[in-house]
Structure 1
Amino acid sequence: MFVPDVLRSGGLGVARWPRHARRLVLSALVGVVAGLGAVFFDAMLVHALTWLVEVPMAWARHGIAFQPVAPGMHAPVVSWIIIPIAGLGGLASGLLVFCIAPEAEGHGTDAMIESFHLRGGYVRKRAPIIKFVASALTIGSGGSAGKEGPIAQIGSGFGSILASWLKLDTADRRVLLLAGAAGGIGAIFQAPLGAALFVPGVLYRDTEYEFEALLSCIIASIAAYAVFSQVFGRQALFTPGPVHFAMPVELLPCLIFGVLCAGCGYIYIKVFYGLRDYFFNPLPIPRMFKPAVGGLLLGCVAWRFPEIIDGGYVWIQTALDGKMLWQTMAALVFLKIVATSFTIASGGSGGVFGPSVFIGAMLGGAFGELGHALFPNLVVNPGSFVLIGMGGFFSGVAKVPIASVIMASEMCSSYTLLVPLLLVSTITFLLLPRKVTLYEKQMDNRLASPAHIGEFARGILSRMTVGEAIRQRPVSVIAENMPFHALVKAVTNSTESYFPVVDKSGKMTGILSVNDLREVLFDDSLRDLVVAKDVATAQVARVRLGDSLETALDIMARLQIDELPVVPDDRSDEIEAMLSKQDIIDHYHDCCLI
């Protein structure tokens, strides 16, 4: 990976540029590289599918005349060979991932989310490369997985590595991480705006965005889309033909369809993680071999139903063209759920966006065709529900109600169905419980993210008082005239770390810690002369009951101490309690969990 030396700190000193200028330039650079990555990844997948699946199965991608006679399409006679092909692909992917970069396991979007929240945006250099190859092996051998996970990890990996190489701070690294993911997804799905909204939004289960990264994601997505379009041309991923929506007649079917999407999404997620937790994880074999088991199981399904191979985009287009029976599409909904779970839940490498789009499209197609057959006056345009399902279903399972609508519209190059898409997406998002999501690493909101806990904590702590956080426990006070030998005994027998020193009237005159004793402890000549007042710190930092916890933490940070004496608001020398950092943390969490 090449970056001009002049960009590096010490050349043009990128780290010293104004933040907006720095992010503008680097986001564009990351977008270009993400676009190139999308080009190579897409080309690699085409060749892998051709030589690993289509040629052995004598099955040309566009050469099938689809004439279904039953709920499923019977595969060609030689298609049994998909079973060993998928198994070997899973084996190769598993060995590569678990021996070199275990973080490349599963769907890469979760890895990107985890890196943002928990790792400061850091990605190991080897991870994007391993993800690139492992995903090509998994999907190229027939795995039921999508492109968004791999390309998200590839693009975000470059953004993270570039930020680390240029010695940028954590905030910039997180932004470039997201910019790279947005660029890759926007390019490979030809949905630049949708991707720019998807990446900052998929970090959270609530309808929140990483606003600081939004402009960088847009810039990177535009740059990546421009590169990708230059190679493959500007064309929609799907061509839905004329789609219509009868207002307000079809609002009721859309309401019902939104409920159906939520129910199917719930089943999808429970099956996906249920197979992982209760089947693949307990298998008494090394983890590196479990993707091979998943591949073999997938191959058994694909033997009879080859529609579930890859992302299934050919079959989505077939559904949009109105050339599939509703029984076929209904069957493929559940077959795709099982096939995707076999592929990715076993540890295979790939994304879940593509399969989710497929499931939503088939669900919408089945609903539209059946609804039109039963209630032609209500479901007037059955084909429109294929496109509505693509965006509506994913909005709930991924918790991205706005981005999914834009992405579905961009992939079909049509905003005609924007209103029903918004309606179905909103219903699906609201009905699915917050914790039921395809992306386990999502945080509930920005407050829950370790990436923002500092800024939010300060705001909350400024409204909390010291009096609310102190714990009722005895304070170990030391009389100022206590002899040194008695002082040593009192301190060593106590579990406390800080000891207020008081005079005969109980007023605080100082404070001491174990460290204060060390200067005198080994000087025998002073032991009989020193009393507690002599070793205590006279200038005592203290907080009042009415002070904010933010103030208390600032004092602790400045003095590098862990506890402070607490005094009443109107008397600064009367010890009330001791406040520790742990007291503040406990009170903060108690309040946030209510």
Structure 2
Amino acid sequence: MLTKLNFPRLYRLYRLLDAGRLRALARRSEMGMVFAGIAVGVTSGLAVTGMSLLSRELHRLIFGISDIERLSSSQTNDKFLLLMAPVCGGMLLGLLFFILARTRKKPMVDPIEANALHGGRLSLTDSIIVAVQNLVSNGFGASVGLEAGYVQLAAGIASKLGLKLQLRRADLRVLVGCGAAGAIAAAFNAPLTGAFYAFELIIGTYTIVSLTPVVVSALVSTLVARLLAGSDFMIDVGAFGTVVPADYIPALLLGAFCAGVGILIMQGVAFIEELARKSSVPTPLRPALGGIVVGLLAMITPQVLSAGHGALHLNLGRDVAVPVLVGLLLLKSFASAISIGSGFRGGLFFASLFMGALLGKLFAYCAPYFAHATLTPVIYAVVGMSSLAVAVIGGPLTMTFLALEITGDFPITALVLAAVITSSLVVRNTFGYSFATWRFHLRGESIRSAHDVGWIRNLTVDKLMRSDVKTAKVSITIDDFKKAFPIGSRQRVILVDDSDKYAGIVLVPEIYASPVDTDDEGKDLKDFIRYRNDFLQPQMNAKQAAAIFDKTESEALAVLNNLIERRVVGQLSESYTLRRYSEELDRRRREVSGEI
């Protein structure tokens, strides 16, 4: 029961928790961002733990496995169940697609796209929908991981918090990175991995300003997940001696080999998605058809189901024949491609780790051909795991720290670093995309990372141009032109034809510098017209406009509404465009460095 003595304390607490004060603290103080990172870390840990427990409960209820079993390592003998579970999941997912197609018209945005184009703005509702779809896909056995749902949900919560606090664009992007860092850290019990996942893949850059909130979020999220669910994702590499210089040669070759396999996997997924789009099968029915294929593959071996946590540990700890490894690798890659290509929600994060481990163990059979090499098959599996993951997901330091945190061995980490750098270099120079950015490319987007390019797209010609421009008919004589535009009145005049379509630009000083007789009424302006087919459009951004100025060597150009009507709606100069572009660029640099 409240007494009079309680009210002053409650009032002080209310003032402390007042939304306006929290907003001011987060906007004006670096400590405010740290507190926001802590809050995001707690919510990320809760979100990851909740989704993980729900997924395992679905596996238990649907496939009848025990609480301690993993689906991909279970000994399920009911072939009909293995076939029908992914089909039923596909039907349920198709029903969700059918409902969403009639209720939500805007495409869903993931954290990379949000940070690259929208300043960190994510819809929490869309994030929850994606997480539910991911749970349905994984829970019914589709060959996808939960990491995409983890990151989407945690980043969506972080974005919602940042919007409530009215954070600046740069701070909101960092807070979204905090959510992603917390999600990956909690999923793998690996705070360094989560932090560098945020830096390399979600924020797109590393700065001192963003270091503390991101790392704090990853640490807090890891602690929350450990307290609630514990962690069993560790790899025992056993005793193998010391890493010698000769071990780096097979590691580098394995990295290059994984890069090639990763490119094939990404192109395979894209091929199946394109095949599904070109088919006459309605979108809501595609997951069910994909579920049939996944179910048939699961009848061969349940190891293709779900993300593959159990299968990874199952194959790391025992000797497996080469034909079995090759068959399992082909089945898992095909199941993952079919799952994603047919519409199941999820990602390739853990699937790439599992397939990379299989590649590493296959490569270990070639180890005797490398003189003086001392590595064991388990170490090759760890190197392959990180190398394939960096080829598909990206983030060399992310995958290097993942190897460190799941093995606890520094010499192996040095090998992994050499391999993942090789893999990343090969992919960038031969393919140029990670899985996420490759999908953006297929959609027509030009982004290749989470670097903030949205402000460039927002700085459009429509916002920069002058709309109060005067035009003249192209048919008037030079004498009439001089009467309408005395020397010194303006530098250039835009000409239009009789139907008000753009015809070009005339430089006024050139008219007065011409030796043409001013009393000659028969002369017109055609000999003075420039830039007949060079112009800007309102939707172009400042960077595109600057490129056109440079190409045409013009100081100013007309802005037309579109290519068909060719109506003049404004005029833009090169000097103003470059000045505004430089100002915005400097502003973003100062935001990143923490100067504003």
TM surpasses 0.5: yes
Distance 1:196 1:103, change over 3 A: farther
The answer to whether the 8 Å contact 2:97/2:283 transfers is no
Q: 1:251 corresponds to which residue?
A: 248
> C-alpha distance in 2, partners of 1:287/1:338?
20
Secondary structure of the residue aligned to 1:249 is helix
Q: Report the secondary structure of 2:119's partner residue.
A: coil
Aligned residue number for residue 329 of structure 2: 333
CA distance in structure 2 between the aligned counterparts of 1:504 and 1:364, rounded to whole angstroms:
74
* Aligned twin of 2:213: 216
Q: State the match for 2:270 in structure 1.
A: 273
Rate the CA distance shift 1:563–1:198 in 2: closer, same or farther, 3 A: same
**Cα offset for 1:65?**
9.7
Superposed displacement of residue 455, structure 1: 12
Identical columns (%) = 22
CA apart distance, 1:481: 4.2
1:388–1:420 CA contact under 8 A, matched in 2:
yes
Q: Does 1:192 align with 2:191?
A: yes
Q: Which residue of 2 aligns with 1:80?
A: 80
2:44·2:154 contact (CA, 8 Å) conserved in 1? yes
1:251–1:151: structure 2 CA closer, same or farther, 3 Å change rule?
same
Aligned equivalent of 1:61: 69
Are 1:275 and 1:341, in contact at CA under 8 Å, matched by a contact in 2?
yes
Alignment partner of 1:580 out of 560, 573, 578: 573
Q: Does the 8 Å CA contact 2:494/2:504 hold for their aligned counterparts?
A: no
Deviations 1:316-375 (A, max 9, x none): 21233234333322222221111111111211111210100000011111221x225666
* Mapped contact 1:97–1:134 kept (Cα < 8 A): no
| Aligned mates of 2:383, 2:29 — CA distance in 1 | 40
Q: Tell me, yes or no, if the aligned pair for 1:96 and 1:130 is still in contact at 8 Å.
A: no
* 1:26 matched to 2:36: yes
In terms of mean alpha carbon deviation, does 243-252 or 43-52 score higher?
Answer: 243-252
Pick the structure with more helix per residue: 2
What's 1:100 paired with? 100
Give the aligned partner of residue 450 of structure 1: 453
The 1:430/1:502 distance shift into structure 2, 3 A limit, reads closer
Name the CA distance, whole Å, in 2 between partners of 1:59 and 1:47: 8
Pair 1:504–1:182, CA change in 2 (3 A): closer
Question: Take 1:22 and 1:236, find their aligned partners in 2: how far apart are those partners?
Answer: 33
Amino acid at match of 1:366: L
Question: Could you tell me which amino acid in structure 2 is paired with residue 357 of structure 1?
Answer: L
CA displacement at 1:89 relative to structure 2: 0.8
Q: 1:390 and 2:393 equivalent?
A: no
Contact 1:326/1:366, CA 8 A, preserved across alignment: yes
Q: Is 1:360 the counterpart of 2:359 in the alignment?
A: no
> Matches of 1:581 and 1:237 in 2, distance apart?
58
Could you tell me which amino acid in structure 2 is paired with residue 51 of structure 1?
L
CA distance in 1, matches of 2:252, 2:510: 75
| Mapping 1:87-236, distance limit 5 Å | 87-97=87-97, 99-100=99-100, 111-203=110-202, 209-211=205-207, 213-233=210-230, 236=233
8 Å Cα contact 1:371-1:379 kept in structure 2: no
Give the conservation status (yes or no) of the 8 Å contact 2:26–2:165. Answer: no
Distance in 2 (alpha carbons) for counterparts of 1:36 and 1:63: 23
Give the 3 Å change call, closer, same or farther, for CA 301–244 of structure 1 in structure 2. Answer: farther
CA pair 131-506 structure 1, distance change in 2 beyond 3 A: same
> Any stretches of 5+ residues in structure 1 without a counterpart?
67-74, 458-473, 508-548, 554-561, 566-577, 589-594
- Residue 303 of structure 2 aligns with an amino acid whose one-letter code is E
Name the CA shift for 1:192/1:12 in 2 (closer, same or farther; >3 Å): closer
Cα distance change, pair 103–219 in 1 and its aligned pair in 2 (3 A): farther
Asked if 1:422 corresponds to 2:417, the answer is yes
Say which of 36, 44, 47 aligns to 2:46. 36
Structure 2 gaps, min length 5:
1-13, 461-473, 515-541, 547-554, 559-570, 582-596
Deviation for aligned residue 1:52: 1.2
Which deviations, in whole Å up to 9, do the C-alpha atoms of 1:194-236 show, x marking residues without a partner? 11111221259xxx62536443321211111111111123654
CA contact (8 A) 1:259 1:428 kept: yes
CA drift of 1:489 comes to 13
User: Cα offset for 1:448?
Assistant: 7.2
8 Å contact from structure 2 (residues 201, 394) kept in 1: yes
- 1:276 deviates by 1.1
Deviating more after overlay: 93-102 vs 186-195 = 93-102
Could you say if the C-alpha distance between residues 93 and 503 of structure 1 is closer, same or farther in structure 2, counting changes exceeding 3 Å? closer
| Structure 2 Cα separation of the partners of residues 563 and 379 of structure 1 | 67
Count of aligned pairs between the two proteins: 484
Please, what is the CA RMSD of the aligned residues? 4.2
Do the aligned residues in 1 keep the contact of 2:94 with 2:287 (CA within 8 Å)? yes
SS of alignment partner, residue 377 of structure 2: coil
Moved more, 114-123 or 164-173: 164-173
Is 1:400 aligned to 2:395, yes or no? yes
CA 1:376 to 1:491, structure 2 compared with 1: closer, same or farther past 3 Å? Answer: closer
Distance 2:128 2:450 in 1: 33
Q: 3-state SS of the aligned residue for 1:411? A: helix
Offset, 1:104: 11
Residue 291 of structure 1 contacts residue 346 of structure 1 at CA under 8 Å; is this kept in 2? yes
Stretch deviating more after TM superposition (288-297 or 227-236): 227-236
After superposition, what is the alpha-carbon deviation per residue over 1:434-462, rounded to whole angstroms, capped at 9, x for unaligned? 424211248666797524648999xxxxx
- In structure 2, the CA distance between the partners of 1:391 and 1:496, relative to structure 1 (3 Å rule), is same
Q: Deviations over 1:72-108 (max 9, x none)?
A: xxx7541332111101112212332553389999xx9
For the structure 1 residues 320 and 16, does the alpha-carbon distance in structure 2 shift closer, same or farther, using more than 3 Å as the test? closer
Paired AA for residue 61 in structure 1: E
2:177–2:202: 8 Å Cα contact kept in structure 1?
no
Q: In the alignment, what sits opposite 2:57?
A: 47
Question: Any conservation in 2 of the 1:262–1:393 contact (CA below 8 Å)?
Answer: yes
Q: Which moves more between the two structures, 289-298 or 149-158?
A: 289-298
State whether residues 272 and 337 of structure 1, in contact with CA within 8 Å, keep that contact through their aligned partners in structure 2: no
For the 8 Å contact 1:276–1:345, the answer to whether it is kept is yes
Q: 1:492 to 1:330 in 2, by over 3 A?
A: closer
In 2, are the aligned partners of 1:148 and 1:185 still within 8 Å (CA)? Answer: yes
Q: Distance in 2 between matches of 1:389 and 1:319?
A: 14
Evaluate the alpha carbon distance shift between residue 121 and residue 366 of structure 1 in structure 2; reply closer, same or farther with a 3 A threshold.
same
**Alpha-carbon distance, 1:581 to partner:** 5.6
Aligned AA (2:144): A
SS at match of 2:278: coil
In structure 2, what is the Cα distance between the partners aligned to 1:37 and 1:393? 27
Distance 2:414 2:334 in 1: 31
For residues 504 and 393 of structure 1, what CA distance do their matches in structure 2 show? 66
In the alignment, the residues of structure 2 paired with residue 312 and residue 118 of structure 1 have an alpha-carbon distance, to the nearest angstrom, of 33
Deviations 1:117-175 (A, max 9, x none): 12222222212222222211111111111121110001100011111222223222222
Instruction: Indicate how the Cα distance of structure 1 residues 451 and 239 shifts in structure 2: closer, same or farther if over 3 A, else same.
Output: farther
Q: Does the CA contact (< 8 Å) of 2:361 and 2:381 recur in 1? A: yes
Task: Tell me by how many angstroms 1:25 deviates.
Answer: 1.3
Once the two structures are overlaid, the 10-residue window that deviates more, 428-437 or 371-380, is: 371-380
The one-letter code sitting in structure 1 at the alignment partner of 2:134 is S
Give the alignment partner of residue 484 of structure 2, picking from 482, 485, 488: 482
TM-score (norm 1): 0.71
TM-score if structure 2 supplies the norm length?
A: 0.71
Deviations 1:550-571 (A, max 9, x none): 9x99xxxxxxxx9599xxxxxx
Contact 2:34 2:213 survives alignment (8 Å)? yes
Q: Describe the shift of the 1:147–1:132 C-alpha distance in structure 2 as closer, same or farther (beyond 3 A).
A: same
